Amino acid sequence: MFRSLALSLWGITLTCPSLPGQAPTSSARAVTVREARYEQLVERVNSWHGQVVLVNFWATYCLPCKREFPHLIRTWNRFRTKGLVVLTVSLDDPDSPESQQRIRQFLVSQQADTENYVLREKPEVWQVKLKIDGPPCLFLFDQRGRLIKKYHEHVDFEDIDKRIETLLQVSGD
């Protein structure tokens, strides 16, 4: 269903190694944000054939999204070298400079050196395509691109980690 969700990148790329007013440190991670349409996300997810892919739809106005984001980054850091790819997709307004700034600042504060996108679609488009009213929403795909589970509203990172472990056949660290 959703593995028809990927990206031929377009739009702007913004690299933010640190928050405004802070000097970059050697341990700072580069955070890049790109714009994408739904079909481009489908292509991008499909391009990761052979990897486990976790796609996180979130927004800066979504308190549960922001509360859960550190768990997403912990999962990414735990499994990134074992075959997990994480894409974050902001559902904030792509035409609002204030939204773009909030997105970048939040991702930098989370050290989200994952693949980060802003969805360039109106809510009436993504709500239909994703079959959700709003974030948070995560999709977990196996190495063949099959949807394993869609997490909406209540996101259970303990379950996500267990499923990723099983898919990657990795013992717990």
Q: State the pTM of this model.
A: 0.81
- Vertex 133, ends 33 and 66: CA angle to 5°? 45
Q: Which helix (H) or strand (E) holds 148?
A: strand 147-152
Q: Is the separation of the CB atoms in 9 and 87 below 8 Å?
A: no
The tens digit of pLDDT for each residue in 71-90 reads 999 999 999 999 999 999 99
Strand partners, 117: 34, 89
Assigned domain for 70 exists: yes
Assigned domain for 27 exists: no
**How far apart are the C-alpha atoms of 125 and 50, rounded to whole Å?**
29
Assigned domain for 18 exists: no
Number of separate domains in the chain = 1
Confidence of residue 22 (pLDDT cuts 50, 70, 90): very low
Give the range among 19-23, 24-28, 78-82, 134-138 with minimum mean pLDDT: 19-23
The tens digit of pLDDT for each residue in 103-152 reads 999 999 999 999 999 999 999 999 999 999 999 999 999 999 999 999 99
**Residue 155: per-residue pLDDT:** 87
For the chain, what percent of residues have pLDDT higher than 70?
81
Assigned domain for 26 exists: no
Q: List the CATH number of the domain containing 120.
A: 3.40.30.10
Q: Which domain holds residue 38?
A: 32-168
Assigned domain for 24 exists: no
